Structure 1
Amino acid sequence: MPVEFCVLGGVQAHLDGHPIDLGHARQWCVLSALLVDANHPVSVDHLIERAWGSHTPQRVRSALYTYVSRLRQALTAVPDVDITRAPAGGYVLRIEPLVVDLHRFQYLTRRARTANDTDALELLEQALDLWQGEAFASLDTPWLTTVRGAFERQRMAAELDRNDLALRCGLHDRLLPDLSAAAAAHPLDERLAGQLMLAFYHCGRQADALAQYEQTRRLLAEELGADPSLALRRVHQKILTNDRTVDATVAITSGTGSATAARGRDVARSGTAAPADRRPGRRIPAQLPADVRAFTGRDQELSQLDDVLEAVRASGAAHGGAAPAVLISTVSGTAGVGKTSLAVHWAHRARDAFPDGQLFVNLRGYDSQAPLSPSRALAGFLDALGIAGADIPSDVDDRAALYRTALAGRRMLVMLDNAGSVEQIRPLLPGTPTCLVLVTSRDSLAGLVALHGAQRLDLDLLPPDKAVELLRQLIGARADAEPAAVGVLARQCARLPLALRVAAELAASRPATTLATLVAELTDLRQRLDLLDGGGDPRAAVRVVFSWSYRHLSADTAQAFRSLGLHPGVDVDSAAVAALTGSSVQRAQRLLVALDRAHLKESVGNGRHSMHDLLGAYAAERAAADDSAADRRTALTRLFDHYLATAMAAMDILQPSRENYVAHLSRPAGRTPLPLRGPVEARSWLDQERANLVAACTYTARHGWEQHTVAIAATLWDYLRPAGHYTDAVTIYTDARNAARHSGDAEGEAFALTVIGYVHRQRAEWSQSIDCFRQALSLSHRLHDTNGEAIAIIGIGIALMLKGEFAPAASHLKQALTIFTGTSDYAGQVETLSYLGSLYARQGRLQQSHEHLLAALTICRRTGDQVAEAFVLHALGMLFNRQGALEQATGHLQQSLTLFKQTGHATGEVMALTGLGLAHILCGRLDQADTCLNHALTTCRQMGYRSEELRVLHYLEILSSPAVQSPDADTILSYPWSLSANTIPEQGT
């Protein structure tokens, strides 16, 4: 072919056999980033990340544009190859994929999967001949290191498939040297070992085949603590009995007549799976929890799970490469039997069989907290899959449909841990046969088996010898010195893995105590504790071991342990523990250290602490048994007072001039907030505690602390709004509205409705926004709250303006301005004047717009309100854009952006960037416009700011159109007012 790009070795390009000079290594990095995703857009941010990694120079975007320009120039003489600007930003390399050796390799391996053995072998040989060394060998960036490993796994997969085919075709002698070298380089790869054994055997070297098996078995035991797979053992058995029927179909492969693939465990060990889809915007979740230490005793169960994956592949070979239906495997058993440990351990071994990612969720089906609803689980999965919060529907069926769409065609493992019922699982099932679902539950989930064909694995207690082996691995030499005590300890722990691990950790923490003494203590406790389910529920044994650890705590440490069980959130810091225990922060820190030593909590970094769910449930039970209801309520009240007081202190720093409803909130009596030194610490505390503050609002709303719910919600608004935390805002203010309504707090309900109306407006949900503001208006009118009425009226007016209904919008805004002027509410006056100015500009009444905005700016500068000033400067900048005063527009918008950054107002930053992007378009500065608008688009989607996203997409469309070469202000400033949230295109389109 006349043009060829080579990256499977040193990077180079040729035209008619002559090299093409494409510049230095960094330019080649940029080209390589485009070559990998040939004919797909790559954003500017992705190109920078791929070419420079985290060490970006100053003015990196300018450098990128220079390199792209040079590459375009160098490729002008190359036919049918060009780098073009992508419509939504970034660049696309337009090229015939087969002129790139990487894509030619992938094309040949894909063809091999559907060819007969002879043709497939030839295709794979051609594909492997393309490799001249390590991919991108002469380049080095973090991204290239990652993709280099992925492509190497593809090469290894093709090589292994080629080996299987050659063995089936009887080419044992030819393969033997290469197989010997490969097996030496990858001694733990069972698939390679099986291939080498077959080659030895069919070359008449039975002894060498058996020796190879023994060597592999020994290495697996020493390095991984595992036995050879069932398939490899079958090959060994046939060779051992001199069974001449042994061939490649018996080895660790699946299917005939096509290129073969390794089983789940073997893929994980050899790393042979194809890389995941790396298109821009496609996120690859890796949510599996960490693997467990010293996993043992579940060889048969692991083999069963391996067979499930092998069945998927075998079925896929018979149905065009994919199984006919989603395969579901359930691991069922009692609490503490190790369901999650087994599933997670197997998932880690098989993770490379799912190159598009692994999803994990704890459904809390058997938990002290309420089970996780399918709706919330779907929201978490969609977020992990890269779906913006604003794009996640509120209806559970719509979420499930979007989830199935996002998974379509992707090879993913979905692990649903601790499921409580089939109803909880069903909405979480993918619709694509390329996914495998792994479920753990204490329930047998008969409906899942009957209706969805799930494969069930019932997990029993560990066999006695395996329980003893686990203790020996965890405890060490002391176990060898007291074998009888270890046997008794295994029985007293009911051979439950979780109980065995906790017992071993306690024994390790008391090295001077004999195991026999610990066994005696455990026996005494079993007689004293009131175990749940006296009918023989083995879960009781978990409580015995937890109780055993708990008994050795001092009284104040035990109280801290119980207090942690009361906390409604995810993790805690020492200040929250101090509030729960009624102690100082220093004392709380000492208590946490003591709990660390007892292995009754874990540190999760950054000074935060959490509990395993079973430990948390046990701590809550101990609190219910050992503390009175009044004491528990007092502890939780101290916690909620702490969160409210510190949130108020943080907002006093960030927004010292807060007015209206928030300013009249009562401070928690007797609770000193954390000392926060300045805006950075204040915002950092709010960021760290945001999830707990959301959980606190939900808990207080449902358990009788309604005043705390409303107060925390009201306090947080000036933090959540500028940062664009809209998903959390919906949860918090829905809880606040319900709490206020339940407690008869009409003023709090009106405030919550106002906030929810604002969030709907930011999401471009105009009708819902107007409805909420009208409810708030009705409540404020009933309360004779003039200021509340004005806030609701201006909310309606702004929503109508954004909806494109200018006349009624102007009427509402004028009405609000009259009220704010009468009450001397300067912040309200500025906001109303600013929106009226923007409205008049959109109607073409530019002089009136200018007068209103100058009046607003005068008030801002007199009162020192920098955030309000930034908004007014933005509005003035947009007005100057309309008037053609582009230098003034750019100056005002840049001032606005600077003020928004100084005050930490993220939503304002987006608006300023959008306005600057428009100014750059009108000035013909297209690269700068592209940078501003794509930055704004990314931020809009991260925070769910849909109404501004509409504007950004409108300007990006203009930027990519021919009209941008001769920009006309009237055309560019026209806006699709009829659009709403439902008409925003999917990301990437």
Structure 2
Amino acid sequence: MLGSLRVWHGGTELDLGPPGRRAVLGLLVLAGGEAMSKQDLVDALWGERPPRSAVNVLQTHVKHLRRLLEPDRPARSGSEILPHVGGGYALRWDAVDVDLPHVRGLVAEANEARRDGETGRAAALFGEALRWWRGKPLADLPLLATHPKVLSLVAERRWLLAGYGDAMLAIGAAREVLTELAEAAADQPLDEPAQARLIRAYHGAGQRATAFRLYQEVRERLVEELGVEPGPELLAAHAALLDEGDPPANPRPAARVPRQLPAGPPGFTGRAVELSILDELVPRAAGSGGTVAIAAVTGTAGAGKTALAVHWAHRMKNRFPDGQFYANLRGHSPAPSATALEVLTRFLSALDVPAERLPADTETASALYRTLMTDRKALILLDNVDTAEQVRPLLPAGPGCLVLVTARDRLTGLVALHGARRLTLDMLDPGEALEVLGRVLGSDRIRAEREAAAEVAGLCAYLPLALRIAAANLADNPGDGIEDYAIELRKGNLLAALTVPGDEQIAVRTAFDLSYAALPAGTRRLFRLLSLVPGNDIGVEAVEILSGTDQASRMLDTLAGAHLVEQHAPDRYRFHDLLRRYAADRLESRESPAERESARRRLHEWYLRAVDHAAKIVYPHMFRIPLSVPDGPVPAAVRENTADWLETELGNLVAVVEDAARNGPRPVAWLLADALRGYFWMSLRQVEWRAAAGAALSAAEEDGDPRARAAARLSLADLSFRQGRYREAVRHYTGALVLARRAGWVETQAAVLGNLGCAYWQSGRLPAAAARFSRALELSRRAGRPAGEAVALGNLGLVQWEMGDLPQAAGHYARALRRYRRIGSRYGEAINLSNLGQVQHARGRATEAAGLLAEALALHRDAGNRAGEAETLGRLASVCCDLGRLTDALDHARDGLRLARETGEPRGEGEALVALAVVHHRAGHRRDAVHRYRQALALLRETGDRYPEVDALIGLATATGDLGQARQALALAERAGYRALRRRASAAVESILRL
């Protein structure tokens, strides 16, 4: 009930059918076992205007629900779960297992612990209860959103969060609960206790200035909207700020400072007035009061808006010590404009928000972004904006921030509603235009033909883009006079004026025409074909494939010299969007549809071959849709440094997926997205993953191909799994499994079952996970897929490990390891070496474990798998502790924690914190150990990773001598079937009792 309504029978999730049927069941569960009359149900479902057939529809819904919930019930017998009671229906709570009473029991136990003074135990129990909540109650049934009992559940969650926040603050864990309290306060802007709790959290976390600012904001809000002054809770929180100095230092590791600005434009010239206006905004941004400073640089295409913004940003970046953020919103790009959520996800990731904590909707993401930026002095450059609506969710709250926007639109809404300072760029002044020409041609040549140079500048409309192209043309022909070039420009402008009257880009197009006409025929063709590239840049090898020539490098140098493309990195080039459009116009007029499609097909096939080849090297164990692509060349970089090639080309690969989904051929979209799934799994590039998987699913559903739909669903499920959204993952996996079965696709059934088992494993449902892993192993053997067998065996090892059957776990890992080595998967080999090392350590074979883990660490480092490296370092730290190598243990634990945080792996970070706590504990640093255990617990409870959470709870109980925590750990281990942890927890309880 605590999220979308979901029901299982015998371990299998049921498809409840249409929303109306789901709502009937939801209402009956909400009744708490009491009967509801048919009239009450009809009123709740249809309100004041029910259809004539409402009662019949209701009875049909109940009939189907009974069949689903009691499939073995004899015909004509009464229902044990949904009986007919007094002219209505009831759902017997004693016949089903409902999550709501379990959570209420945990809350009651937590309140009792708090009354008994066991604050740490209360915090742990509140946290356990909170983890059962996966969203708004009955979130998938909007028609019940205003039902009194649903609203009551919403209030229950608020009380739970308040209790959890108070308990965490009481035990000194303010930092660990800050995000939750900030979200709660944002959801209840006029709730004084919620706001007071957040003020106390900021104070406890050492952010005193933010706490003061929040108090002032809340006070002003109360006065303006309710006409009241702050009440006792807010006043007490404020008094604590006034009466106390800064809280005791408890520094957290220094966060990475985002440095996202692109390279500055070489030879930037002019714009002194505009630069000085921007300079004036910096003192305002650096101040401690007021609102965020916003500057909007607007103007026509080619006016140099981006160049001005980037140049100024580099000049001022030291004034913004908390980071410089950059996003190209693709307002006038052939690719779809960037969404605010896409940009917010990148910004939040740069602010060290773990992947599984990234919000899935724009409103929540924007609120979290504003909260995290409140105390920062940062520069946010939003380039190539289309409309003001794109910008609003990206505005930070901190008055120390400055937002710099570039756009062709005048952004009147941003100026009117948010006080943006608008700078309109039109043309350079004549002197600045001559300076641009002089930087390329030399001042002597300009002085020699000053009048002609001035005429060229005027014919280029004093626009920087046209001026740079004109200067490049003149530089390529030093024997020609500037006067001759002016004559050519004059002719071109006259012709353009006759054919396209009133077009503000006439001068630019004329300069393009002259540059284009001066190119050799082959280079002109290559320039035209570049307009087919869907991404923002392209490498030389890809251009050779697109154009079918091995002279691409020389031709690209020619185009770069003429300023028709820009070389922004070694062997990589990109277009200005005006030039791309110009090239597309020329392509349309010169190449036939068949020639254009042939070039696109060559590029698509090249990318497919390359990614398929990369997959065989980096993640051969992961199932993929078989490709049927003609033989051909594969990029040298794929063979030499696969991971780097994938990273470099990722933007283009995703652009190809999206382009194929929109414009065809659609199979390219799902084939390429599926081939990239393994890379996304390893790198967790979730923005790109979501875009590729979403485009693939759109293309697959358009074509109706069940295999393609299954593969796309599998990718979305994997993304949810890697983000820690296990229930959402299970939903997607179940849909993919249905599609794979419908298509008779055994290999995919095995892959989905394996991943579905992982979702159950992560959420602590070990028997259900083991059943699915065993079935996946059986299907993989039937299909003759050793890679699938390897994955299933390794997963079975994980389950056996957590169930405490260490010999069985070691056997599964060893068999998986042999298969991974047979298929050449160094990634799978490294993971199973690490897992086998962990098991052997637990079996008391520390020396053998150290060797296995060292081998795994080397493989992870060779493959660039930093998340695997972080996990293995944590395990190696624990082994070194047992071997008496405490210095090595501390180094490994710290390195593992740093890597886990850099890679955004919450489970890895949690395990690294546990490892670091163990090292501190063994070294006698009890205070540090307790702090690390608490950090780990807070993180692992958020991610829902139960096994390491129980492990951390046992460690914390042992370090603090807290009998309540030890008993809680024992109960959790027994409930989940963690036999090894149950033995450890039991030993901890006995040890504390002896004390």
CA distance in 1 between partners of 2:402 and 2:938 (Å): 43
C-alpha deviation, 1:752, in angstroms: 2.9
Q: 2:599 aligns with which of 635, 640, 659?
A: 635
Aligned to 2:238: none
Aligned to 1:83: none
* 2:332 paired with 1:372: no
Q: 1:766 aligns with which of 709, 713, 726?
A: 726
CA distance in 1 between partners of 2:411 and 2:723 (Å): 39
* 1:768-796 alpha-carbon deviations (Å, 9 max, x no partner): 22122211111111112233222222222
What TM-score, normalized by structure 2, do the two folds share?
Answer: 0.64
CA distance in 2 between partners of 1:472 and 1:954 (Å): 63
Cα separation, partners in 2 of 1:705 and 1:862, compared to 1, 3 Å: closer
Conservation of the 8 A alpha-carbon contact between 2:306 and 2:383: yes
Q: 2:463 aligns with which of 476, 481, 496?
A: 496
Cα separation, partners in 2 of 1:963 and 1:397, compared to 1, 3 Å: farther
CA distance in 1 between partners of 2:819 and 2:325 (Å): 52
Q: 1:780 aligns with which of 740, 759, 768?
A: 740
C-alpha deviation, 1:386, in angstroms: 5.0
CA distance in 1 between partners of 2:421 and 2:277 (Å): 10
Cα separation, partners in 2 of 1:278 and 1:522, compared to 1, 3 Å: farther
> Percent identical across equivalent pairs?
34
Aligned to 1:147: none
Cα separation, partners in 2 of 1:520 and 1:278, compared to 1, 3 Å: farther
C-alpha deviation, 1:718, in angstroms: 4.2
Conservation of the 8 A alpha-carbon contact between 2:711 and 2:736: yes
Cα separation, partners in 2 of 1:376 and 1:543, compared to 1, 3 Å: farther
Conservation of the 8 A alpha-carbon contact between 1:294 and 1:474: no
Conservation of the 8 A alpha-carbon contact between 1:417 and 1:441: yes
Q: 1:956 aligns with which of 883, 901, 916?
A: 916
Cα separation, partners in 2 of 1:734 and 1:290, compared to 1, 3 Å: same
Conservation of the 8 A alpha-carbon contact between 2:643 and 2:864: no
Aligned to 2:627: 665
For the residue of structure 2 that corresponds to 1:979, the secondary structure is helix
Conservation of the 8 A alpha-carbon contact between 1:468 and 1:490: yes
Cα separation, partners in 2 of 1:914 and 1:740, compared to 1, 3 Å: farther
Aligned to 2:843: 883
Q: 2:257 aligns with which of 260, 280, 283?
A: 283
CA distance in 2 between partners of 1:859 and 1:418 (Å): 50
Conservation of the 8 A alpha-carbon contact between 2:673 and 2:692: yes
For the residue of structure 1 that corresponds to 2:384, the secondary structure is strand
C-alpha deviation, 1:720, in angstroms: 4.3
Aligned to 1:6: none
C-alpha deviation, 1:513, in angstroms: 0.7
* 2:271 paired with 1:305: no
Aligned to 1:616: 580
Q: 1:542 aligns with which of 500, 504, 508?
A: 508
Aligned to 2:448: 481
What TM-score, normalized by structure 1, do the two folds share?
Answer: 0.64
Conservation of the 8 A alpha-carbon contact between 2:352 and 2:901: no
C-alpha deviation, 1:283, in angstroms: 0.9
Cα separation, partners in 2 of 1:444 and 1:920, compared to 1, 3 Å: same
* 2:269 paired with 1:295: yes
Q: Aligned partner of 1:666: which letter? A: S
Q: 1:979 aligns with which of 941, 945, 957?
A: 941
* 2:390 paired with 1:428: no
Cα separation, partners in 2 of 1:754 and 1:459, compared to 1, 3 Å: closer
Conservation of the 8 A alpha-carbon contact between 1:560 and 1:581: yes
CA distance in 1 between partners of 2:316 and 2:861 (Å): 45
Q: 1:592 aligns with which of 556, 563, 566?
A: 556
Conservation of the 8 A alpha-carbon contact between 2:534 and 2:656: yes
Conservation of the 8 A alpha-carbon contact between 1:837 and 1:848: yes
CA distance in 2 between partners of 1:806 and 1:531 (Å): 77
Conservation of the 8 A alpha-carbon contact between 1:947 and 1:981: yes
CA distance in 2 between partners of 1:292 and 1:553 (Å): 24
Identify, as 1 or 2, the structure richer in helix.
2
Q: 2:776 aligns with which of 792, 816, 836?
A: 816
Q: Aligned partner of 1:827: which letter? A: A
Conservation of the 8 A alpha-carbon contact between 2:906 and 2:939: no
CA distance in 2 between partners of 1:577 and 1:836 (Å): 46
Conservation of the 8 A alpha-carbon contact between 1:924 and 1:965: no
For the residue of structure 2 that corresponds to 1:609, the secondary structure is strand
CA distance in 2 between partners of 1:553 and 1:637 (Å): 26
Cα separation, partners in 2 of 1:574 and 1:927, compared to 1, 3 Å: same
Cα separation, partners in 2 of 1:922 and 1:839, compared to 1, 3 Å: farther
Aligned to 2:991: none
* 1:694-717 alpha-carbon deviations (Å, 9 max, x no partner): 221222122112211222233334
C-alpha deviation, 1:557, in angstroms: 0.8
Structure 1 spans left out of the alignment, 5+ residues: 1-86, 89-109, 111-276, 317-321
* 1:73-93 alpha-carbon deviations (Å, 9 max, x no partner): xxxxxxxxxxxxxx99xxxxx
Conservation of the 8 A alpha-carbon contact between 2:763 and 2:944: no
Q: Aligned partner of 1:300: which letter? A: V
Number of equivalenced pairs: 694
Q: Aligned partner of 2:726: which letter? A: W
Conservation of the 8 A alpha-carbon contact between 2:346 and 2:687: no
CA distance in 1 between partners of 2:436 and 2:855 (Å): 65
CA distance in 2 between partners of 1:312 and 1:880 (Å): 57
CA distance in 2 between partners of 1:279 and 1:858 (Å): 40
Aligned to 2:519: 553
* 2:753 paired with 1:793: yes
Aligned to 1:686: 646
C-alpha deviation, 1:873, in angstroms: 3.3
* 1:82-119 alpha-carbon deviations (Å, 9 max, x no partner): xxxxx99xxxxxxxxxxxxxxxxxxxxx9xxxxxxxxx
CA distance in 2 between partners of 1:712 and 1:942 (Å): 28
CA distance in 2 between partners of 1:977 and 1:416 (Å): 32
Cα separation, partners in 2 of 1:823 and 1:465, compared to 1, 3 Å: closer
Q: Aligned partner of 1:282: which letter? A: R
Aligned to 1:331: 297
Cα separation, partners in 2 of 1:534 and 1:400, compared to 1, 3 Å: farther
Aligned to 2:476: 509
Conservation of the 8 A alpha-carbon contact between 2:294 and 2:420: yes
For the residue of structure 2 that corresponds to 1:794, the secondary structure is helix
Q: 2:800 aligns with which of 833, 836, 840?
A: 840
* 1:475-521 alpha-carbon deviations (Å, 9 max, x no partner): 32222222322232222112223322322232222211111110111
For the residue of structure 2 that corresponds to 1:418, the secondary structure is strand
After alignment, is 489-498 or 899-908 more displaced? Answer: 899-908
Aligned to 2:485: 518
Cα separation, partners in 2 of 1:954 and 1:305, compared to 1, 3 Å: same
Cα separation, partners in 2 of 1:863 and 1:547, compared to 1, 3 Å: closer
Conservation of the 8 A alpha-carbon contact between 2:342 and 2:687: no
CA distance in 2 between partners of 1:621 and 1:527 (Å): 20
CA distance in 2 between partners of 1:490 and 1:858 (Å): 71
Conservation of the 8 A alpha-carbon contact between 2:269 and 2:435: no
After alignment, is 866-875 or 370-379 more displaced? Answer: 866-875
* 2:873 paired with 1:916: no
Conservation of the 8 A alpha-carbon contact between 2:713 and 2:732: yes
For the residue of structure 2 that corresponds to 1:917, the secondary structure is helix
Cα separation, partners in 2 of 1:793 and 1:926, compared to 1, 3 Å: same
Conservation of the 8 A alpha-carbon contact between 2:532 and 2:584: yes
After alignment, is 607-616 or 381-390 more displaced? Answer: 381-390
Cα separation, partners in 2 of 1:790 and 1:642, compared to 1, 3 Å: closer
For the residue of structure 2 that corresponds to 1:295, the secondary structure is coil
C-alpha deviation, 1:560, in angstroms: 1.1
Aligned to 1:395: 361
C-alpha deviation, 1:672, in angstroms: 1.5
